[in-house]
Amino acid sequence: MKAFVVEKYGKDGARAAEVPEPTVGDRDVLVKVSAASINPLDKMVRNGEFKQLLKYKTPFVLGHDVAGVVTRVGSAVHGIEVGDEVYARPRDLRAGGFAQFIAIDVDDVAPKPASLTLQEAAAVPLVALAAWQILIERARVKPGQKVLVHAGAGGLGSTVIQLAKHLGATVATTTSTATEELVRSLGADIVVDYTKEDFSKQLSGYDLVLDSVGGANLGKSLTVLKPGGLAISVVGPPDAAFAKQLGAPSFLGLVMNTLSRKIRKQAKALGVRYEFFFMQANGAQLRKLGTLYDSGKLRPVIDSTFPFERTLEAMVYVEQGRTKAGKVVVTMEPGND
């Protein structure tokens, strides 16, 4: 089958290749891929940023979001059948959405939301699961709380805005002039145009900040939190909990804590908290999220689509920051250029 694989770590380490169809285990479903989407995680894995924690064996297929049709099921699979349209974020070490077929653990798979096309559904799993796990599991957002979402027009930010509003929060976001109308349509109550204003001088008393920018932006985010508030970053620096989540040796936890010592010290001095976040695959949560898409509470935001043959171009498009809003999808369907 055709696939895009990482032969070696680094910017130029991915290429198109012919690889065997994946083996289907007892608890796996084999999915004929209809569409996949690009995530920053694809670049990070390709570049080897997590190679001490996620020990992929090269060559391996990239792609952390997928939607398609089930063509085979393992002997221990129940609730998913051949012919079902599904979507998934395959678990770590089992990525492989940039291929014609992928074998996925049944626990990571959910029926595609009926209201979405397969191409739309491919844009959903990673960012929707991240939003759910950040807002509901980590931060336990309640009605009336205040949430700041950085980069609100992005794939993750646009999803977090919608889910936070569904949970009853007051939502502020940072974005550019060009996407202000979009983020308001998604439910943002307060919009700070980062090209004109400094959010840290405009906002205060927030319960939660979600940072996907990093650097100085993360440090400033701590200052808008109320006492006891929480800043969560998806771009780092990582902490010991991340190493524990991935089952890494204890010494790597110490390394992670060293990397995040400065920001954690800043947070403590301000009476707030800092955590790094790395989402986990979860088919049961995707089923719950599917009902929110079907009820109109959530909707995917898609920047553009590329044909499967141009997957590497789609990755470059995302890496160069050319997306205006939402996700970039690669599709097996002809004519989606």
Which residues is 17 bridged to in the sheet? 3
Task: Examine the fold and report which residue of 260, 276, 292 is the final residue of a domain before the chain moves on.
Answer: 276
Assess whether 157 and 63 both reside in one domain: no
Could you tell me which of 63, 61, 41, 65 has the C-alpha nearest to residue 53? 41
| Cβ 22 vs Cβ 72: under 8 Å | no
Task: Examine the fold and report which residue of 241, 261, 276 is the final residue of a domain before the chain moves on.
Answer: 276
Query: Residue 299 corresponds to which tokens in the numbers above?
Result: 């909707």
Assess whether 132 and 272 both reside in one domain: yes
Assess whether 215 and 306 both reside in one domain: no
Q: Provide the residue-wise pLDDT of the chain in tens; the chain has 337 residues.
A: 999 999 999 999 999 999 999 999 999 999 999 999 999 999 999 999 988 888 899 999 999 999 999 999 999 999 999 999 999 999 999 999 999 999 999 999 999 999 999 999 999 999 999 999 999 999 999 999 999 999 999 999 999 999 999 999 999 999 999 999 999 999 999 999 999 999 999 999 999 999 999 999 999 999 999 999 999 999 989 988 888 888 888 888 898 889 899 999 999 999 999 999 999 999 999 999 999 999 999 999 999 999 999 999 999 999 999 999 999 999 997 644 4
- Domain extent, residue 133, equals 126-276
Confirm whether 289 is domain-assigned: no
Assess whether 107 and 139 both reside in one domain: no
Assess whether 139 and 104 both reside in one domain: no
CA dihedral (257, 260, 262, 265) positive or negative:
negative
Q: Which residue has the tokens 């470059």?
A: 316
| Cβ 213 vs Cβ 158: under 8 Å | no
Pairing status of strand 66-73 against strand 85-88 = antiparallel
Number of domains present in the structure of the chain: 2
Assess whether 154 and 268 both reside in one domain: yes
- Using DSSP, state whether 199 is helix, strand or coil: helix
pTM of the model: 0.95
Could you tell me which of 37, 3, 5, 66 has the C-alpha nearest to residue 305? 37
| Cβ 207 vs Cβ 141: under 8 Å | yes
Could you tell me which of 100, 68, 106 has the C-alpha nearest to residue 84? 68
Confirm whether 51 is domain-assigned: yes
Confirm whether 336 is domain-assigned: no
